[in-house]
């Protein structure tokens, strides 16, 4: 069973916690993680891009010159693709890029990502993250105490604390502040360090240990 040091906000070890082997100790499935990242990015695309074909471009209804006798190439419309201002051949049209993995695939990808991060020593667990007022300097002090100020960080909480969120959102090295129930593979892999609270770890373990979701 894997274990990780439990830290306080000063970066001192105050204990250890055991992690569930089926969540943080699996063999990483790189193909599944890749599919999860592709799915996440594809689902962010709006797909509203559009170009006009020659039938949709305004004008060009009259033949520009007669078919024969001019010495020039025959043309039927000034809105044909070879003309400036003409239609676009095989251009982009609105479409839906999204594709979805099954619930078990999403769970498996997240387990793989968390297990890989833990194996590389890139998961830190603190007892809690509390800030009494929204101050970026206070969040910087916490990250500096934990030795991760120079790394990209994902903060995972049991619930979003407004003061923590407001204190962290201006940090240039922050990937995001997310709830444990919203954690996804893309965010985990985007960060060099995943900083979790102990209650968040319990929520993640419960979420990824349940059958089905």
Q: What is the pTM of this model?
A: 0.83
Rounded mean pLDDT of 114-133?
A: 93
Residue whose pair of structure tokens reads 């676009």 in the numeric block: 88
Which pLDDT does position 79 carry in this prediction? 95
- Residue 2's pLDDT band, with cuts at 50, 70 and 90, is confident
Give the neighbor-by-neighbor strand order of the sheet with 174-179.
Answer: 13-18, 3-7, 123-126, 193-197, 153-157, 174-179
Q: Domain segments of the chain: what residues? A: 3-45+97-209, 47-96
pLDDT of 205 above 50:
yes
Correct CATH for 3-45+97-209 of 3.40.50.300, 3.40.1370.10, 3.30.200.20, 3.30.420.10: 3.40.1370.10
CA atoms of 68 and 74, how far apart (whole Å): 7
- Residue 212's pLDDT band, with cuts at 50, 70 and 90, is very low
């Amino acid at each position: 069973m894997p274990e990780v040091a439990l830290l306080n906000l000063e970066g001192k070890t105050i204990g250890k916690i055991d992690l569930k082997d089926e969540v943080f100790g699996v063999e990483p499935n790189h193909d599944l993680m890749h599919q999860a990242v592709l799915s996440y990015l594809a689902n962010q695309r709006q797909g509203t891009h559009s170009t006009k074909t020659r039938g949709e471009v305004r004008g060009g209804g009259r033949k520009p010159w007669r078919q024969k006798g001019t010495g020039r190439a025959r043309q039927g419309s000034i809105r044909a693709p070879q003309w400036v201002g003409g239609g676009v051949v095989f251009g982009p049209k609105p479409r839906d890029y999204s594709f979805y993995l099954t619930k078990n695939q999403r769970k498996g990808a997240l387990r793989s990502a968390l297990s890989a991060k833990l194996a590389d020593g890139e998961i830190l667990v603190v007892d809690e993250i509390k800030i009494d007022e929204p101050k970026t300097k206070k969040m910087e002090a916490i990250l500096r105490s934990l030795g991760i100020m120079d790394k990209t960080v994902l903060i995972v909480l049991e619930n979003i604390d407004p003061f923590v969120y407001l204190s962290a959102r201006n940090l240039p090295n922050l990937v995001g502040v997310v709830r444990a129930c919203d954690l996804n593979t893309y965010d985990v892999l985007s960060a060099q360090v995943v900083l979790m609270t102990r209650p968040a770890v319990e929520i993640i373990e419960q979420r990824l240990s349940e059958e089905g979701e």
